[in-house]
Amino acid sequence: MINFSFAQTNAYPKLFMSIKVNNITKQYGNQKALNNVSFEINSGEIVGFLGPNGAGKSTMMKILTCFIPQTAGTALVCGHDVAEQSIQVRKCVGYLAEHNPLYHDMYVKEYLTFIAGLHPDKISRNSIASQIKEMIDVTGLQIEQNKKIGALSKGYRQRVGLAQALIHDPKVLILDEPTTGLDPNQLAEIRALIKKTGKEKTVMLSTHIMQEVEAICDRVIIINKGEIVANDKTENIQKTQGSKQVIFVEFDKETSLNLIMNIVGVSEAKNTTGNCWQIIAEPEKDIRSEIFQFAVQNNLSVLTLQKEEQKLEDVFKILTTAEKTE
């Protein structure tokens, strides 16, 4: 039985450090894929590991799962050194790789039986069948369980990958693009599963879907060109990047850019369509009352007024396109 809980395995303290990375560098010839990367992840956290293609995300995940060695630095998973104690690390990690390597000639249940057999210290022979049934139920594979993996859609193959990552009840889940290829209904189900899992386990996931990060992650680590450029809660990252205030307003008749730019607190303004304007305000200054006063003074009626904070996607673009300064 998979409990999604530490209660019946090792009762860790609330802030047990599941992952601790210290000055990890990975070099391929003259190219540094990772450059002195350090971060920590506590038990019970769901952390989004973000970055553009080629930033070093998959490289970091492969190091943490003992698929490749680091060039320098140390990394601990559940207290085990990835370089010196790789067997112990693999026992406590569930890993879904970016390209989800599966045996396409095997049937779903056959494959999960094979994977369960690789964890004899976690799954007894007598409990393999019940463990597989539970994982099939948890990941929604019931109607496809008797098919060959090669006959499944991409979304269902992704579910098989999640099932193999979860089957031995790991303390840490490392998921590289776990929702790739899923339809909207499947997305909602897998996100709910990850969120449920993250209440008692450590989950580190990479994704390019910012809404996914905002929906399920407790914290975000952003990596760019092999270096950490942000590591904080989503809302804190948005604030510290001086998030601009964006206001959309529609008046009942025409006005001019010059007049709008005279409103106190306005830094930019753009006429989008007709009498609609996008107004950019200085950070942490609510200018909606000034806009209403402007309307009254200029004989205008406000038909629509909508305030929108800078999104995580905007912050991501700023952090991963800015030139590095010495």
Residue 2 has pLDDT above 90, yes or no: no
Q: What is the pLDDT of residues 58-114, one digit of tens each?
A: 999 999 999 999 999 999 999 999 999 999 999 999 999 888 889 999 999 999 999
Q: State how far the Cα of 78 lies from the Cα of 122, in Å rounded to an integer.
A: 16
In the predicted structure, residue 211 carries a pLDDT above the cut 60: yes
Residue 142: what pLDDT? 92
Least confident of 246-260, 265-279, 305-319: 305-319
Token pair in block for residue 25: 């560098």
Domain ranges of the chain: 17-239, 244-309
Provide the percentage of residues in the chain whose pLDDT is more than 70: 90
The angle that helices 128-138 and 108-117 make with each other, rounded to 10 degrees, is 120
19 or 265, greater pLDDT: 19
Q: Please give the pLDDT value at position 210.
A: 84
Those residues with Cβ within 8 angstroms of residue 235's Cβ, 6 or more apart along the chain or in another chain? none
What DSSP letter does each residue of 23-72 carry, written as one string?
EEEEEETTEEEEEEEEEEEETT-EEEEE--TTSSHHHHHHHHTTSS--SE
Per DSSP bridges, beta strands 46-50 and 266-271 are unpaired
Of 74-83, 210-219, 311-320, the poorest mean pLDDT is in: 311-320
Binned at pLDDT 50, 70 and 90, residue 16 comes out as low
Mean predicted lDDT score pLDDT of the chain: 86
For the domain spanning 244-309, the CATH number is 3.30.70.100
Confidence at residue 187, expressed as pLDDT on a 0 to 100 scale: 81
Cβ distance 66 to 258 under 8 Å? no
Residue 200 CA neighbour count, 13 Å, CB half:
16
Question: Which pLDDT belongs to residue 12?
Answer: 38
pLDDT band of residue 5 (cuts 50, 70, 90) is very low
Element (H, E) at 279: strand 276-281
* Mean pLDDT score, 228-255: 82
Asked if residue 4 has pLDDT above 70, the reply is no
**Domain 17-239 has what CATH class?**
alpha beta
The model's confidence at residue 322, banded by pLDDT at 50, 70 and 90, is: low
Strand 219-224 with 202-206, pairing? unpaired
> What is the predicted pLDDT for the residue at 240?
66
Handedness of CA 180, 185, 188, 190 (dihedral sign): negative
Position 197 confidence tier, pLDDT thresholds 50, 70, 90:
confident
Pick the more confident residue, 274 or 318. Answer: 274
Calculate mean pLDDT across residues 152-162.
Answer: 89
pLDDT of residue 9: 37
> What is the reported pLDDT for 146?
94
Q: How confident is the model at residue 185 (pLDDT cuts 50, 70, 90)?
A: confident
